[in-house]
Structure 1
Amino acid sequence: MSRPHFDPSRYDAQLAEKKTRLAALLAPFAAPEPEVFDSPREHYRLRAEFRLWREGEERHYAMFEPGDKSRPILLDDFPVASEHINRLMPQLKAGWQASQALGFKLFQVEFLTTLAGDALITLAYHRPLDEAWQVAAEQLAAELGVSIVGRSRGQRLVIGRDYVEEELTVAGRRFRYRQPEGAFTQPNGAVCEKMLNWAFEALGPREDDLLELYCGNGNFTLPLATRVRRVLATEISKTSVSAALANLADNGVDNVALVRLSSEELTQALNEVRPFRRLAGIDLKGYDFGSVFVDPPRAGMDPDTCELTRRFSRILYISCNPETLAANIAQLGDTHRISRCALFDQFPYTHHMEAGVLLERR
């Protein structure tokens, strides 16, 4: 992650440019004007990763411009990161400078925080971690009030928990989430909460069932499950599946069946191309799917998965890459129309943006 060019005075103009770009991408599909959900102007990133750069006997937090690893940008703070990360940065630096056990061959630091006030720090090393490291890390974790994960080749030592706990409010209800170290989570918590509320409203109350692809740790699953009769959710990452199951249990959501299948595999199962033992006990034909929710990776949906979504009356699509979103909509345009669309500014001061569309059968 390179350092964003942080200039709050330019924020409104940059957001307007993104809206114009999204509207142009969706114009061929007669999309309505995008709803726009802005970001806090600073302290919006809940996670941050830094390399360490040595000058003399001291190591500094460092970032680099893309493609240039020779000229570091040395940091004492990071205004786009959460206030919690900014408080921890100097405290952690003092900790590794004061302890040979913590500082020796430390080369990378990752922070993961939440709106709920939780924090986890990952320390990566070019050496094995020993008992001295464990003792020093336990003391530092207690002093900072955080969990710590130490990583080196073939090692992963956890002080405290290997996840953080988040709380997000959707339609007046608070949902609790476990967000594991090393797994994907939305970096901008305030905008994530806006996305969840938009998706909740766009789906609306239904009397039928929902299919969810790429469910991750259940970020959208929890609130959307309260809008439908039942949910069948899929995810391929074991870590995310484990977190999603814990999140469902923690929130008392009991109308979701979660299976560890890729979208391609689920397409094969629904098309009766091949059976899967991971679907044992799940009656696919017993579902009355009216809607499908997808939040795919940057590459978007593959053509077969895109064809699968065509079967549904409503396609609720969250995208981190509007270009691949537009390509998927082009494949679906003869059967579905865009009834709502939205821009979520997850990544201020960059060209990246998150988008949402509701596609309904013509």
Structure 2
Amino acid sequence: MSAVFDPSSYDAQLQAKVARLRELLAPFDAPEPSVYDSPREHYRLRAEFRLWREDGQRLYAMFAPGDKNTPIFFEQFPIASLRINDLMPRLKAAWQGNAALSNKLFQVEFLTTLAGDAMVTLCYHRPLDEHWHAAAEQLAQELDVSIIGRSKGKRVVIGRDYAVEELQVGGRTFRYRQPEGAFTQPNGTVNQKMLSWAFDALGERQDDLLELYCGNGNFTLPLATRVGKVLATEISKTSVNAALHNLADNGVDNVTLVRLSAEELTQALNEVRPFRRLEGVDLKSYNFASVFVDPPRAGMDPDTCELTRRFDNILYISCNPETLAQNIAQLHDTHRIERCALFDQFPYTHHMESGVMLVRR
């Protein structure tokens, strides 16, 4: 954690973030942001710990930024989900009582969901043998989790290599596969609020939507129910495969997903060069009026930002308000902020997630 966990200070910290977002968006005459708070504790659905040897035991440890030598030990982790806190001592007891599980174990990763699913990844500095496999299978049954064993160049899956999430948006339940090792939103409660805000901001439309950086389809599923067709792009193979499963599992059949970066799609739409991965996709058949973007912390590159200018509506979710403001500055002469929001995905840190709906002037 990059700040002290102190629920009594939560409201003051949240108001400081609201003030910061107001300040960044003030040059663009932004309306007052809608604010979506977080649970004060047990909100984080994933956690990663190094294991530190002390007095003959392996203990859950984290480190302050820039300091890899001074461990901070945890028996419980109050910002993590109740399921993670339930699993932590039971998993520790298991490796303490079984050499096949503890031998050269150096890292543990937890992924849980609001739907109650859980996956545990155990990382080792040794090959995983049949003794480990037998012990891990028994442990997976006892804990009611999937277990992934990782060692150099090898991955062993016991159960599933993804966790299952269910989120309620617009009166409908959407079911998601969240693959091991892939990005997922860490704060499920706030993610659900964020999806509902985007669903409402886009509104019900007859035209089509372009989505850049779609990930595992977190936003794609609910937004696809608001428009005619969706063309979605994502560069990560793991995320693309998860998104395709999620679309099929939810019966969403109006989305075409292509594995291209935002920069590559910009080149395709500008007819700079063709892409084999767009074979069979008629870009001219889309009646695009809106674009949805959820870029990495660096924001949109200038060319992608220029691409979004073509659309009447730009729905933008940002994990970095500074780069969001930079992108809005590039678009401000043609688009105005119709609505904005702050989503407190990361309580007790300076990080914030925000959203804006930009419409053509």
Question: For the superposition of Structure 1 and Structure 2, which TM-score range results when normalised by the shorter chain?
Answer: over 0.9
SS where residue 243 of structure 1 aligns?
helix
Quote the residue 2:128 is aligned against. 129
How much has 1:172 moved relative to structure 2? 1.0
Q: Do structure 1's residue 158 and structure 2's residue 157 form an aligned pair? A: yes
2:19 aligns to what?
20
Match of 2:228 in 1: 229
Counterparts in 2 of 1:152 and 1:3: CA distance versus 1, 3 Å: farther
Q: Which residue of 2 aligns with 1:102?
A: 101
Instruction: Report how far residue 183 of structure 1 moved.
Output: 0.1
Paired-residue identity, %: 78
In the TM superposition, what is the alpha-carbon distance from 1:138 to its structure 2 partner?
0.4
How far apart are 1:71 and its partner, in Å?
1.2
Corresponding residue for 1:322? 321
CA contact (8 A) 1:3 1:63 kept: no
Q: C-alpha displacement at 1:4, in angstroms?
A: 4.5
Please say if residues 225 and 255 of structure 1, whose CA atoms lie closer than 8 Å, have aligned partners that are also in contact.
Answer: yes
Contact 1:3 1:64 in 2 (8 A): no
Residue of structure 1 equivalent to 2:354: 355
| Map of 1:196 onto structure 2 | 195
- Within a 5 Å distance, the mapping from 1:25-44 to structure 2 comes to 25-44=24-43
Residues in 2 aligned to 1:273 and 1:161: alpha-carbon distance in whole angstroms = 42
* Partner Cα distance (1:154, 1:68) in 2: 28
Aligned residue number for residue 309 of structure 2: 310
Count of aligned pairs between the two proteins: 361
Amino acid at match of 1:117: G
The separation in 1 between residues aligned to 2:73 and 2:180, in whole angstroms, is 25
Question: Aligned partners of 2:123, 2:99: CA distance in 1, in Å?
Answer: 15
Q: Which residue of 2 aligns with 1:244?
A: 243
> Counterpart of 1:336?
335
Q: 5+ unaligned residues in a row in structure 2: which ranges?
A: none
SS of alignment partner, residue 273 of structure 1: coil
Q: Point out where structure 1 has 5 or more consecutive residues left out of the alignment.
A: none
Cα displacement string for residues 75-99 of structure 1 (whole angstroms, at most 9, x for unaligned residues): 1000000000000000000011111
| Partner secondary structure for residue 95 of structure 2 | helix
Q: d(CA) in 1 for partners of 2:140 and 2:204?
A: 44
Q: 1: distance between equivalents of 2:2 and 2:148?
A: 24
Q: Residue type matched to 1:11 in 2? A: Y
Q: Secondary structure at the match of 1:300?
A: coil
What corresponds to 1:168 in structure 2?
A: 167
Give the aligned residue type for 1:214.
Y
- Amino acid of the structure 2 residue aligned with 1:338: I
What displacement does 1:70 show? 1.4
Output aligned runs, 1:256-335, within 5 Å. 256-335=255-334
Contact 2:2 2:349 in 1 (8 A): no
Q: Which residue does the alignment assign to 2:182? A: 183
Equivalent residue for 2:57? 58
Rounded Cα–Cα distance in structure 2 between residues aligned with 1:82 and 1:316: 30
1:51 is paired with a residue whose SS is: strand
What SS does the corresponding residue of 2:218 show, helix, strand or coil? coil
